[in-house]
Amino acid sequence: MSRFYRSARGKLIANDSGQASVELAFVVTLLLLLVCASIDFGRALNTMQVMSELTRQGSNLALRVESTAGCDNLCTAVNDVTAAASGLNVASNGKIIITSLTEPLTGSETIGPTGGPYTIAEQVASSGGLTSVSSKLGGVGTKVTSLTTAPGLQSGQYLYVTEIFYAFTPLTPIGNLTNAAVGMPSPLYHIAYLHA
């Protein structure tokens, strides 16, 4: 009986070795997919965080920076944000657009209604980078009503809006599939505003 037991046990071990190889192949493939997806998704989230900070800085700079010779406050702010892009290389892979908005007052109003309508007074975009994108707000003279949470403005006040577009490229080939499955926009986009 012990001879039969050893013989049956040897056959079972021999049969299990193929099954273990197949299971290992499935597990390694799944883990590789998860690692690649998490790398690219994490990079995309980090890029969005950097873009969020840059849009806030752009609006803040447009409000506070002094004009230089040949470049007004919006132009200077665009150049400063492009230079401080924290490793994103916005000059070749993105576009920064800073817009100043005014709110026309009617009648006896001292402050305009929250959310506009605003009128685009000036707009400056970075050169190079993504040439195919344009401001989601519109061009100079356009009425803007899409900033529903923006504050009402008094006469002479401006609302500075910074938009950043960035062409994100995944590191892994799986990243393209992951970005499509998750619904990541292409290019990435962020907007922030500040009023004075």
Tell me: the pLDDT tens digits for 132-150? 889 999 999 989 888 888 8
Give the mean pLDDT of 73-90.
85
Q: What is the pTM of this model?
A: 0.80
**CA 122, chain centre distance (Å):** 23
**What is the structure's pLDDT at 14?**
58
**Integer Cα distance of 171 and 91 in angstroms:** 20
> Rounded to the nearest 5°, which phi and psi values hold at 125?
-120, 150
**Integer Cα distance of 48 and 88 in angstroms:** 10
**What is the structure's pLDDT at 123?**
93
Domain-by-domain residue ranges, the chain? 29-195
The dihedral sign for the CA sequence 95, 52, 70, 142: positive
Q: Looking at per-residue confidence, does 58 or 15 come out higher?
A: 58
**What is the structure's pLDDT at 183?**
59
**Integer Cα distance of 13 and 94 in angstroms:** 58
Give the mean pLDDT of 105-130.
85
Cα 93–95–101 angle (5° rounding)?
Answer: 170
**Integer Cα distance of 35 and 42 in angstroms:** 10
